[in-house]
Amino acid sequence: MTRFETGTSNAQAVNAPLAIRAEDLSKVYTGEGAPVTVFSGLSFAVEEGVLAAVMGPSGVGKSTLLHLLGGIDRPDSGRVEILGASLEGMRPRERARFRNENVGFVFQFHHLLPEFTAEENVAFPHRIAGVAEREARRLARELLARVGLADRGHHGARALSGGEQQRVAIARALARGPRLLLADEPTGNLDAAAAHSVFELLRELHRERRMTTVVVTHNPDLAGRCDRLFTMSREGIAASVRLSERG
């Protein structure tokens, strides 16, 4: 059902090991109504170091796919390997630890803790990992400065613009230095200028930190600035190779 192309790619990705290997994934939501089959037999692979965009119509299962790749949700069948480790082979607690150490998530609806300041939001992953408060806050301030919010650390999350909130969400996702970043429409609610600048920030951080990054977006211009574009449809997911415009 699914076209699965690894194909040739940009120089950076040739012969690189896979950061993501998802095979034959199926996901069915069973709730109050009739079961919803989001996809079945879906396969997807991304080489290490690649910045990949995923596009596709609303409801096709892009967020669902990211949740499966990040181990936040489990497929009904199929396998996910991240950075060479099989998520299926892990117990839930081990999977949670693996995720905290290796995967950063920028959620479609950014999920900042509204009662907390920007600094506290970014310090949070460090606190969960057992870092002492003072050091966690120092690291958070450093990262907030990197995303252009040095002077917003003490603002409550609610007192930030949409673009600023997305920068905080990105900083929070990067706090623990993940090797894989999954970003679900990180510019979805922003005007064109803010979307462009948040996306450029993501690209810079992707490069600086040598991560593998998957970005879901509805914006073809932004997708065109990635190394690879995957298009998701009811039939599955197909890769097309693009050269990035990075200079």
Q: Find the shortest distance in angstroms from Cβ 63 to Mg ion.
A: 3
The Cα 82–Cα 65 span in angstroms is 13
Q: Find the shortest distance in angstroms from Cβ 108 to ligand ATP.
A: 6
The Cα 70–Cα 103 span in angstroms is 7
Angle at 69 between CA 149 and CA 239, to 5 degrees: 95
For the segment 45-64, give every residue that binds ligand ATP (CB under 6 A).
58-64
For the segment 84-113, give every residue that binds Mg ion (CB under 5 A).
108
- Out of Mg ion, ligand ATP, none, what residue 8 binds, judged by CB under 5 to 8 A for its kind, is none
Question: Considering beta carbons, is residue 22 or 136 the nearer one to Mg ion?
Answer: 22
Q: Is 38 a residue that touches ligand ATP (CB under 6 A)?
A: yes
Count the neighbouring beta carbons within 10 Å of the beta carbon of residue 69. Answer: 25
**Placement of tokens 């079945």 in the chain:** 40
- Out of Mg ion, ligand ATP, none, what residue 29 binds, judged by CB under 5 to 8 A for its kind, is ligand ATP
- Kindly tell me which residue out of 9, 63, 121, 213 binds Mg ion, with binding defined by CB under 5 A: 63
Query: What number of chain residues touch ligand ATP (CB under 6 A)?
Result: 12
Taking alpha carbons only, the member of 80, 63, 91 closest to residue 215 is 63
Taking alpha carbons only, the member of 186, 232, 199, 241 closest to residue 65 is 232
The Cα 92–Cα 90 span in angstroms is 6
Q: Find the shortest distance in angstroms from Cβ 239 to ligand ATP.
A: 17
Contact 149, 201 (CB under 8 A): no
Question: Considering beta carbons, is residue 69 or 140 the nearer one to ligand ATP?
Answer: 69
- Out of Mg ion, ligand ATP, none, what residue 61 binds, judged by CB under 5 to 8 A for its kind, is ligand ATP
Q: Is 135 helix (H, G, I), strand (E, B) or coil?
A: helix
Residues contributing to the site for Mg ion (CB under 5 A): 62-63, 108
Residues contributing to the site for ligand ATP (CB under 6 A): 29, 31, 36, 38, 58-64, 108
